[in-house]
Amino acid sequence: MSAPPRIVVDVDSGVPPWRQVRDQITRLIVHGWLPTGARLPTIRQLAGDLGIAPGTVARAYRELEAGGVLSTGRRQGTVVASVPAAAPNALQAAAAEFAGTARALGVDVEAAVAAVRAAYPGEAAYLDE
Amino acid sequence: MRDTGIELGALAFVGVMLLIALWPTDKTAAKVLRKWNVVDPTPAQVAESKVYLKRRRLLYPWLFLAIGYGTSKLLPSDDGYFTVQVLTTVLAGMLLAELIAAVRPSRGVRRVAVLVPRRVRDLVPAWGLVAFFLGVDVVVVLLVLARPVAVPALVFLAFCVLTSTGAILLAVKRPTSGDEAVDEAFRLRSARVALGLGTAVAGVLAVAADPSGYAVPALCLVLIGLGWNLVSPPRAEAAAGR
C-alpha cells in the first residue's frame, strides 16, 4: 500500500502558507498522487493539522477552485476536479505573481522590469546589455 | 443513606490504583502501540506513546474525585452504581484528554498534514454505532418503564452517551500531533474504546430497570459483549500488523 499524500508547511520559509498549500496540492495532482475525484480534507481538518488559520487553507482551496483544479460540493466535500495541463515552473509562477502585484500598484512594465533589475545590484550592468 | 466521605475516598482510591496499575513503562507503551497496529515501534514512537498515556492516566484521580463529588450532589441515591461510576469516569477521562488534545496547537516550524479526510466510520465500524444507539434506545425505554423510574441510571446513561459520542467526534476532529503512526493508533484506540465502553455501560445500566427477569440480563450481556468486541482493535488490521 502506498503512503497517503501529505503536505509540509514551513512557517519560516518566507513563502506564504496558503501558497505552499496550493502549490503542493497542485504538484500532488500533476504527479498523480491525487487522482481526479480524490477527496481532500475539510478546511478545518487541514488547518488544524498544519496549525494554521482556516482562512489560509480556504484561500489555497479557493485559488485551486478558481483554476478548475478542485471543486467543492455540499455532499461530496472538496474533490480533485481536473488535472492542471502543466504545472507552471517556480519562476513563471513568481513572475506571474509579481506582475499581478505590479499591476495592482499601477506600475507599468518598464518600471516593473526596472525594479527587478534594481533587485540584482551586482548584475545590473549585465542585465542592461 | 450513603456516606459521601467514604464514597469519595473509595473513588479516589480507585483513581490512584488505576494510575499506579496503568502507569506506562517502555514495555507497556510499546505493547499498546503493537496492539493498535504499529508493527515495530521505534524508541521515539514508544517515548511518544508513554507521554500520551501518562497525560491521560494523570487525569484519573482528579476525575474520580470530581465525578464522585458531582454524583453525590446531583443524585438522590446511587446505591449499586459504583461500577457504572467507575466506567463513566474512565469515559469522561477520555473525553477530557481528547478535548485537551483538540485545543493544543500544532507547533514547530515544519508542519506535516496528510491529505486524506478523516471520518467517524474510518475509526469505528457502522455496526458498532448501530449497536450503541440501538442499545441506548432500548435501555432508555426499559428505564423509563421501570417503576419507580430509575432516574440515576437515566442520568448516567445520558452522561455516557454524551461522553462517548463526544470522545469519538473529538478523536476524528482533533489535529494530528507527533508521529503519524502513533497518532493514528491512538486516534483509533480512543474512538473504539469510547464506543465500546459506552455500549458496555448502557448494558450494565439495563440491569437497573429489571434485574429479576431473563431478558434484561441477557440484553446486558449482549451489550457488554459487543462493547468488549469494539474495545479490541479491528482483527484484520491487527493480523496484518503482525
User: pLDDT tens digit string along B134-162?
Assistant: 999 999 998 888 878 778 889 889 999 99
Nearest-CA distance B108 → chain A (Å) = 8
Rounded distance, CA B175 to CA A45, Å? 7
For residue A41, list chain B residues with Cβ-Cβ distance below 8 A: 113-118
8 A C-beta contact, residue B143 and residue B201:
no
pLDDT category of residue B176 using cuts at 50, 70 and 90: confident
Min CA distance, B217 vs chain A (Å)?
42
Tell me, what amino acid is at B219?
L
Can you tell me the distance from the alpha carbon of A95 to that of A115, in angstroms, rounded to the nearest whole number?
A: 13
Q: Which residues of A touch B104 (CB under 8 A)?
A: none
- How much is the average pLDDT of B74-98? 79
**pLDDT beyond 70 at B239:** no
Q: What is the mean pLDDT of residues A106-124?
A: 80
> In the numeric block, which cell numbers belong to residue B61?
484521580
B236: contact with A, CB 8 A cutoff: no
Over 80: is that where the pLDDT of A115 sits? yes
pLDDT-derived band at B133 (thresholds 50, 70, 90) equals: very high
pLDDT per residue over B87-128, tens digit each?
888 898 889 989 988 887 767 777 888 899 999 998 999 999
More confident residue, A103 or B230: B230
Question: With contact defined as beta carbons under 8 Å apart, do A69 and A84 qualify?
Answer: yes
Angle, CA of B183, B174 and B60, to the nearest 5°:
80
**DSSP-assigned letter for residue A12:** T
Q: Give the global pTM.
A: 0.77
CB contact under 8 A, A50 and B114: no
Report CA-CA distances (Å) from B2 to B67, B72, B76.
Answer: 16, 9, 10
How does DSSP classify residue B124? Answer: S
Q: Determine, for residues A51 and B115 on separate chains, whether the beta-carbon distance falls below 8 Å.
A: no
**Closest Cβ–Cβ partner in B105, B114, B115 for A51:** B105
Residue A48: its chain B contacts at CB < 8 A? 106, 173-175
Q: How many CA atoms lie within 13 A of A62 on its CB side?
A: 7
Q: Average pLDDT for residues B39-67, to the nearest whole number?
A: 89
B105 has a chain A CB within 8 A of its CB: yes
Task: Write the CB contacts of A106 (distance below 8 Å, at least 6 apart in sequence).
Answer: none
Whether B119 has its CB under 8 Å from any CB of chain A: the answer is no
Whether B56 contacts chain A with CB within 8 A = no
Angstrom distance (rounded) from CA B227 to CA B117:
27
What is the C-alpha to C-alpha distance for residues B90 and B140, in angstroms, rounded to an integer? 22
Q: What is the pLDDT of residues A36-47, one digit of tens each?
A: 999 999 999 999
Q: Give the rounded distance of the alpha carbon of B116 from its chain centre.
A: 26
Q: What residue in A sits closest to B174 (Cα-Cα)?
A: A48
pLDDT number for residue B106: 67
A49: closest CA of chain B, how far (Å): 4
List the beta bridge partners of residue A80.
Answer: A70
- B77 has pLDDT over 60: no
At B195, is the pLDDT very low, low, confident or very high (cuts 50, 70, 90)? very high
Beta-bridged to residue A71, according to DSSP, are A79
Q: Output the pLDDT for position B214.
A: 76
How big is the A-B interface in CB pairs under 8 Å?
69
DSSP bridge pairs for A7: B113
Mean pLDDT of chain B: 85
**DSSP E strand stretches across B10-120:** 110-114
Partner-chain contact B173 A50, CB within 8 Å: no
Preferred mutation among A39, A42, A49 to probe B, highest tally of B CBs within 10 A: A49
- Angle in degrees, CA B114, A5, B110, rounded to 5: 55
Element of type H or E holding A79 = strand A77-80
In a 3-state reduction of DSSP, which class is residue A73? Answer: strand
Report phi then psi at A72, rounded to 5.
-120, 125
Tell me which chain A residue has its CA closest to the CA of residue B103.
A48
Closest residue, chain B, to A10 (C-alpha):
B110
Contact in structure between B64 and B89 (CB atoms under 8 Å) = yes
Inter-chain touch A6–B173, beta carbons under 8 Å: no
Is there a contact between B136 and B153 (Cβ–Cβ < 8 Å)? no
What confidence tens digit (pLDDT) does each residue in A47-93 have? 999 989 999 999 999 999 998 999 998 888 899 998 886 655 667 77
- Chain A environment of B109 (Cβ under 8 Å): 10-12
Residue B150 or B74, more confident: B150
Q: Which of A7, A12, A77 sits opposite B109 (nearest CB)?
A: A12
